[in-house]
Chain A
């Protein structure tokens, strides 16, 4: 009797009918997608373990003989990330100012920039890479270009959001003082924006390091070319070495960016 009472206290007061409908729709979608993709449950269950088995059988032991040959490609990959982060930061800052309501009062310009940036952001970067290689031909500069485009898309939106967060009161106070647009920009907006600017830029740099490694797969230079060719030639041991070095680079980058963040933000 006592137990019954305890169980009767509802722990969540949500609309159970709504949740039921949601769950049913969700599971039908799920089963439909399973059927559509022609994946059987067995394949699903076996897929990951069999990959792990294959991974440990073939990719190990890593062969470290050619480690020195990878260094130029590593440096190249990091270089792409640095250059594209720099250029896109500058362009994205201008776009961010154009998108934010705090700094740009012309609505049509805001909408146009926002639309343009959302096109840049929404096409996955590997598609940008493939497209640009298609247009400009193979080469490192195409990779940098692809990275720049995607990073502009990502950073402009983040910058604009950070500028939007700056309270309008302070800018209004500056305006009431009779300061010009650029005075408001340099003394009102930018000083408050710097911490989030550093934060977002470092984040973009991390993404760019990762992305620049992948761009090699579509022929845009960097370490990805080496990973791709080694796997295609069944030299799994060498591929895993490159990947391991790359993982170390990324972890180091994260460590460095985090310590910069702690100092400045």
Chain B
């Protein structure tokens, strides 16, 4: 029986080469950084002890944690709304098919590319350095990263609509605001809402993370529990964070699906 090759000879050679390159990069990365694996393994025998102490749940922290979860959620919601307003405005100025001015569009895009490449926690460190600890710092930090994210995604959605509709509306004599308000917003609203739900999720997770560096919310409570070596409370709070995020994900997916079905 004749043997039929499933993959061609050339592609085998290519994939071997690819694997070699990838392997070389991995080994180079391992060599370049100092991981002190030995120290890590030495410390491993402490781990079962810590883990066994963490296998406890402290229900007394639950009401406090719930209040802090509300703080985190409120912070995320507030920032989301403000960010959507700002980003909606900016993204119509930045989308290349509707932008009134090319330079403004390029400027907004590159400015937010830089803003987005700084992680939110680093923004957080800078904001806390200037405004001090507290909810206002959290608000400003999340606002910066949320505006960056929403502007980018909204701009993408607007650009996807192409230029035909805009041209058609222009030929009827519609002004810029009318094109945006009656032409583009109804067209993009589904995409916008699904981006907003994604952004809300990331806002919540950011506001939790910001607690670690001193902004209020559930993250701060967790840091306090960790710093006081309160094992049971740590476990409880982590479980609650996880539950919160899972519920949030389910709700957001449901909203997204509802809108998709409602519009089609």
Contact = CB atoms under 8 A, between A and B. Distances in A.
Interface stretch (B70-78, B89-97, B100-108, B155-163): B70-78
Given A12-B186, A51-B131, A247-B118, A124 B208 contact: yes
Contacts of B122: 213-214, 224, 227, 243, 246
5 contacts: A11-B186, A37-B139, A47-B136, A137-B46, A142-B40
Contacts of B82: 44
A43 B136 contact: yes
Instruction: Give the most central of B34, B119, B127, B241: most A CB within 10 Å.
Output: B119
Interface of A: 11-12, 29-30, 32-34, 36-39, 43-44, 47-48, 50-51, 54-55, 58-59, 75-76, 78-80, 82-83, 86, 118-119, 122-127, 130-131, 134-137, 139-142, 144, 187, 210-211, 213-214, 217-218, 224, 227-228, 231, 234, 236, 239, 243, 246-247, 250-251, 254
B238 interface: yes
B121 interface: yes
Contacts of A29: 77
Contacts of A32: 74
| A-B interface, 5 closest residue pairs, ranked by CB to CB distance from nearest | A33-B74, A54-B130, A122-B245, A79-B33, A250-B117
Interface of B: 6, 22, 25-26, 29-30, 32-37, 39-40, 43-44, 46-47, 50-51, 54, 70-71, 73-75, 77-78, 81-82, 113-114, 117-119, 121-122, 125-127, 129-131, 135-137, 139-140, 143-144, 182, 186, 205-206, 208-209, 212-213, 219, 222-223, 226, 234, 238, 241-242, 245-246, 249
A22 B71 CA distance: 22
Contact of A134 (B70, B226, B246): B226
Given A47-B131, A83-B30, A136-B40, A122 B242 contact: yes
Given A36-B70, A141-B37, 7 more contacts: A33-B74, A47-B131, A50-B131, A78-B29, A124-B245, A210-B117, A228-B125
B39 A139 contact: yes
Contact of A123 (B37, B143, B238): B238
Given A58-B130, A76-B33, A231-B126, A131 B238 contact: yes
Instruction: Give the most central of A33, A142, A251: most B CB within 10 Å.
Output: A33
Given A48-B140, A82-B26, A187 B205 contact: no
B140 A47 contact: yes
Contacts of A126: 121, 209, 212, 219
A142 B249 CA distance: 27
Given A123-B238, A127-B212, A127-B222, A83 B29 contact: yes
Contacts of B73: 33
A210 B40 CA distance: 24
A211 B118 CA distance: 10
A97 B215 CA distance: 40
